[in-house]
Structure 1
Amino acid sequence: MSPKTTALNTDIDPFPYSTERLILRRFGPPDADDVFSYRQLPEVAKYLYLIQPWTRETTAQDLSIQAKATFAADNDDLQLAVTRPEDPRVIGEVRLRIESIAAGQVEIGYIFHPEFQGRGYATEAATALLRLAFDTYGFHRAYARLDEENRGSVALCRRLGMRQEARLVENDIRDGVRGTELIFGMLASEWHSR
C-alpha cells in the first residue's frame, strides 16, 4: 500500500460546467417541476437511493438544500442539474458524494428523464463527473453503486471504463423485494491512462 495521498481541491466551484452538448450547474428553485417530472416516475424512482415517495414539495425541499450544499467534508453531496445550452429545462441530474476525504474517495451518480435517454447524454454527463472528480478536485478513486437490474446503468459504467469491483448479493430491499447491488470503480491513474 502506497502511503502517498493527494490534497483535494474541493474549494473549487467550477459551475456552470460545460461539455460538448450539456451544461452542469447548481440547482435553483425553478427546477423543481422539471426534476419532479422524472423522479416521480416508477421506472426512475425504483433505482434511486433517495427518499421516496417523491412529491413536488419534497423535490423542491431537496433542491433547496442542494443549492446551498457544501462540498468539502465526508458525506457532502454535490448534486447538479443537467441542461442543454438551447433549452434551460432540466433533463437529468448528476452527483458527487464525498465518501472519504482522507482516502480521496468519491461516489458518482446520475438520473435522467426517460424522454432524454438513449442519446448519449448520461455518458457525456458521467464522463464530465469523472473529469471533475479526478482532474478538478483531485480524488484518488471514484465509484458507483447500482442495482444489478438497472441494465442501462451497468452499461454506462462499462462505457466509462469503470471496472466491476463487487456484486453484493441481496444486500438491499426495494419494494419488499431483495436486490443485488453492483459496485463499479475507477482510480485516478486508470482515468489518466485512458
Structure 2
Amino acid sequence: MATERLSLRPVVADDAEAFLGWRSRPDVVQFMYQPPWDLPTAETKLRTWSSAPFDEVGDVLVLAIEVDGAVAGEAMLKWAPGPRQAELGYALHPDVSGRGLATEAARATLELAFTRYGFHRVYARIDEENAASVRVAERLGMRREAHLLENDLRDGVWSNEVIYALLDRELS
C-alpha cells in the first residue's frame, strides 16, 4: 500500500537491521513496555513476524514503513478479542519523526484494517506520557474512550494508559 510519501509492506526477515535502528533505542521503546533490542532479538522477531499468519484473534500483522525506499518505521495490526476488532500500533525512527509520517502510515493502516480485513473497530493503547502518539491518534479522528490508571509497569514504575478508537464508518 502506498501513500503520497511512504509505502507499507509486510515485513521480511531482512528488515531486522533496519528495525534495530529504532527498536534498540531506549527513547523509542520506553513506551512499548519492553527493553531495547539487540541484533539476535531483531532477527528472531522479524523472522517470526514475516512468516506469521493473520487470520484469527491474537495474530499480528507487522508492516514496514518505507520512506524514500528505506525502512524507517513500523505499523502493526493485532487481531483483538471481540467481534471484528483490532489494535493499532506504530513507531518511526526518530530521524524521520516530526513530519507527519506516523499519522500518514497509521491512516493507511486503518484503511487496510477496515477495507481489506473488514474490522469494525480499531483501537490504540497509548502510554499517556507519549504525547506524540496521542497527537497521532487525535489527528486520525480517533476518540479517547478510556483512561486506565496504573495499569502497566514501565521501567518498574506504574504508568497510565489511554485508549483511542475509531469505527469503520468514522474513517475520513
Q: Deviations over 1:47-90 (max 9, x none)?
A: 114x5341111011100011111111001000011102x32x21
AA at the equivalent of 1:21: R
Q: Offset of 1:26 from its aligned partner?
A: 1.6
- Match for residue 128 of structure 2 among 133, 138, 148: 148
Match of 1:68 in 2: 51
Is the counterpart of residue 22 in structure 1 residue 35 in structure 2?
no
Correspondence 1:59 to 2:47: no
TM-score when normalising by structure 2: 0.96
Map 1:123-142 onto structure 2 (within 5 A): 123-142=103-122
> Which residue in the other structure is 1:38 paired with?
22
Query: What whole-Å deviation, never above 9, does each CA across 1:9-65 have from its counterpart, x for those lacking one?
Result: xxxxxxxx111111111222321111101111111010114x534111101110001
CA distance in 2, matches of 1:55, 1:104: 34
Question: Which of structure 1's runs of 4+ aligned residues deviate more than 3 A?
Answer: none
Equivalents in 1 of 2:144, 2:13: separation in Å? 36
CA distance in 2, matches of 1:159, 1:62: 30
Unmatched 5+ residue regions in structure 1?
1-16
State how far apart, in whole Å, the 2-side matches of 1:158 and 1:98 are.
22
Code of the aligned partner of 1:98: W
Aligned to 2:95: 115
Which sections of structure 2, spanning at least 5 residues, go unmatched?
A: none
1:171 matched to which residue of 2?
Answer: 151
Tell me the distance in 1 between the aligned counterparts of 2:108 and 2:124: 14
Give secondary structure in 2 for the equivalent of 1:30.
Answer: helix
% same residue: 45
1:47 paired to 2:31: yes
Report if the CA contact (8 A) 2:13-2:46 is conserved.
Answer: yes
SS at match of 2:32: coil
Bigger helix fraction = 2
How far does the alpha carbon of each residue in 1:82-106 deviate from its partner, in whole angstroms, 9 at most, with x for none?
A: 102x32x210000000003x61100
Give the Å deviation of 1:189.
Answer: 1.9
- The 8 Å contact of residues 62 and 74 in structure 2, kept in 1 or not, is answered as yes
1:138 offset after TM fit, Å? 1.1
- The structure with the largest alpha-carbon Rg is 1
Map of 2:76 onto structure 1: 95
TM-score scaled by length of structure 1: 0.85
